[in-house]
Amino acid sequence: MARRLGRGTQKSSGAWVMDRNLRRGLIEIAYDTSPHEACGLIVGVGDAAWYLKRMRNVHPNPTNFFAMDPDEQLAVWEEVESRRQQVLGYFHSHVNTPAEPSETDLRWAVPALLSVIVSLADNKPDVRVWAGQIPYEGDIFRQR
């Protein structure tokens, strides 16, 4: 059972949905940031993802890992809350590996948020959603 909510559809599973334009945006950000890993936050209301907030990757080894700038992250979080929106999840890219969480990704996963991983391996963009190490099998991407 689904109901309309904002710009998306809430699924009975509790997962959120994302416009296909946002999927394209994730891929563009990953390519723009390559060969470094991209990272950012997914913002929306309820279970409808509305937009992406690209963040600076400040990890000392940004080719293989990501770390969001904490000051930038706090500022974005406060901005989102002031607009009565929510951070629904976060994203990052894997330049040369599949769109599956690494051991480091799993160690730093935020349990309350879904994670989107964009892989650019083999020059075939692949976008997958994860709840920790459990893949979300449904199609969260919808045509507007």
Quick one: which of 17, 15, 30 has its CA closest to 91? Answer: 30
**Which of 1, 2, 4, 8 has the alpha carbon at shortest distance from 89?**
8
The arithmetic mean of pLDDT across residues 102-109, rounded, is 89
User: Can you name the CATH fold of 3-136?
Assistant: Cytidine Deaminase; domain 2 (3.40.140)
The domain locations on the chain are 3-136
pTM of the predicted protein model: 0.82
| Six token digits for residue 139 | 């199609």
Tell me the pLDDT tens digit for each residue of 10-23: 332 446 778 888 99
The tokens of 7 are what? 């710009």
Nearest-angstrom CA–CA distance, 16 and 113: 10
Q: Is 60 exceeded by the pLDDT of residue 138?
A: no
pLDDT of residue 113: 84
Question: What are phi and psi for residue 99, nearest 5 degrees?
Answer: -80, 55
Residues 25-53 pLDDT 10s: 999 999 999 999 999 999 999 888 899 99
